[in-house]
Structure 1
Amino acid sequence: MKLKGAQIIVETLIEQGASTVFGYPGGQVIDIYDALYLAQDRIHHIITAHEQGAAHAADGYARATGEVGVVIATSGPGATNLVTGIATAYLDSVPLVAITGNVPNSLIGRDSFQEVDITGVTMPITKHNFLVKRVEDLADTIREAFRIAKSGRPGPVLVDIPKDVQNALYEYTAQAPAAKNPVPAANESEIEKAAEMILAAEKPYIYIGGGAITDNAGAEVLALAEKIDAP
């Protein structure tokens, strides 16, 4: 089934399990919003008063549900308004996919109206980001973004999509939601070494991050604290 790139974006979001997305419309994502309107019975969009609010809302949604948060913004100032929310998700290990529109491929790099190199801007605060220059790569890139966002230490991934890619037609075939990368097995010798160091410590204490909450490891942390009498 041939669809416009904007429709492929929405269909792939639905395919990947995104039931609720956040954002604010603008010129370079208006086709995505048309596609969201047509699919409103299958995916719920929440509009905010500002793109930064949408980024924080997607971040909070991911924390509350355990799903990948999704936020959509237009090019230029719309995209840069996401930066604080993306950085928050990056520092707090929250799975987030940010989709931004951009000017057509033919205008990229020419200082077009509301053109900003958002992939360059967000490189330090994303696990990975993509500039999709061909509609043929669109669905697989979004799938990869979801896989990266929720694998290992979770975090944000940005997908920047030029206007002409959103309007181009291409064949779309639904796939299963992207699976997380397998977690590597623990090294038994390293675990034994760590246990020896803990046993030798005179006043051990535990300083642990949000991953314990994400992976529901609270009971194990408490058991360790009681076993070694550590705060």
Structure 2
Amino acid sequence: MNWRAAGSIYRFELARTWRTLFQSIFAPVLTTSLYFIVFGAAIGGRIQQVGGVPYGAFIVPGLMLLTILSESTSNASFGIYLPRFTGTVYELLSAPVGVAETLIGYVGAAATKSVILAIIILATARLFVPFHIVHPIYAAGFLVLIALAFSLFGFILGCWADGFEKLQVVPMLVLTPLTFLGGTFYSIEMLGEPWRTVAMVNPVVYLVNGLRWTFYGQSDVNILWSAGLTLAFLLICVAIVSWIFRTGWRLRT
């Protein structure tokens, strides 16, 4: 393991956050604050509680997940796409750097930025609503697992994209709609049939409920399914990334 190479890539990618501070930190926090103002104040005045949890506190895990999914995917995809676009990826491929070092550098930095942002959003949410975390250790572990899984997914997306427009297709047209329809602002139990059954096909439902369980100890789905599906998605992404480096797909052409 070439730890120096992995650390260099990691520090370089992490430093990009401070060079684009407004886009990386302030913009997501501002967007989340607007969600709290609109949904917490407007809808929260009509829906007092969901499952015994105040509505403003109920949407905190969902808003955190919304930010983590989009930021993990975007950061990791842009991180690997930019070297491909400028041609500097060939320096990486010709250097004594393996798959593990590359993933630690690019994916680790993207996941770290997402977790830092999640912590900032959690602190911001405290300014709007009081809440508590029943299982803080499980919450931290689940956040890291989700951040790693979707950072890997973003890495794959950055290898697949052949233009800046394609980098935004999946986050905007797939992940964001799935997150909004995955119980971010409501409980699946509030839906009638057949929409409740349809919602259960949405994989984000399991992510939202898994994170919500770590906060309040309640979930609309089995927690083992939430953890299992997230871990399975991570392993699938690792296998795809390994195949990309083994074959050179989209990296050497």
Q: Bin the TM-score by the shorter chain.
A: under 0.3
Report which of the two has the higher share of strand.
1
TM-score (norm. length: structure 2): 0.24
Report which of the two has the higher share of helix.
2
TM-score (norm. length: structure 1): 0.25
Greater RCO (Cα-Cα under 8 Å, separation 6 or more) = 2
